[in-house]
Amino acid sequence: VPDKVEEQHSLALDLWSKLVTNEKTDIYLRSSDGDAIPAHKLLLSFRSPVLAQLIETTNGVLTLEVTTQILKSLLQYMYTDRVDPLDSPQVLIRFADSLELPGLKSICERELIDSITPQNVASLLLVADTFNCELLKKACMGYCEDNPHSIVKTVAWKVMEKVNPGLFEEVCQK
C-alpha cells in the first residue's frame, strides 16, 4: 500500500474553511465600505463579549465601522487566531480593543513594536497609552531613550505635547 498523504486538519483550518465556503453562516457583518461578509454568530459570540451583545440585538446584519480589509483581518483572527498579512495594525488594535479581543490586540502590539521609527514613535506612544499596551509603551520609551536627538525634531512630538501633555512629560523625564 503506497504512503498516503494525509490532509492537514486543525480546528482553525476547519473553522476557516466554513467561513470561506459560507457553510451554515447565519449573520452578515457589513463594513463601512458597504461589503457584507457572512459569518457564524456562535463563533463570534464566543470570541468577543462585545460582539455577543451586538448580535443579540441584530436581525441578521451587523454593521461595523471599519473597512472591509480590517473586517477580513478581524474574521481571520476570530476563526484562526492569526492575521496574515497584518496590513493596518494601528487601526486593527483600536478595533481589537473595542471588541475586547486581547489576543488580536497582542498580535497588533507586537507588529507595532517591530515598526517603531523616529517618524512614528510619538503616535505609537499615544496608541500604547490609549489602549493600555504596556509592551508597546515600554518599547517606545526605550526607543526614545536610545534616539533622543532624532525624535524631538518631528512634528508628531509637538502634536503629542498638545494632545497628551502628561505622556509627553513622562517621555521627557526618562
4 lies in some domain: no
Q: Do 36 and 77 sit in the same domain of this protein? A: yes
Alpha carbons 169 and 166: distance in angstroms, whole number? 5
| Residues 69 and 25 both lie in one domain | yes
Same domain assignment for residues 96 and 141: no
Domain that holds residue 50: 9-101
Our count of domains for the chain comes to: 2
Residues 83 and 150 in one domain: no
Is residue 106 included in any domain, yes or no? no
* 110-160: pLDDT as tens digits: 999 999 998 899 999 999 999 999 999 999 999 999 988 877 777 888 888
CATH code, domain carrying 174: 1.25.40.420
pLDDT tens by residue, 22-61: 678 899 999 999 999 999 999 999 999 999 999 999 989 9
On whether the CB atoms of residues 125 and 167 are closer than 8 A, the answer is yes
Looking up cell 470561506 gives 20
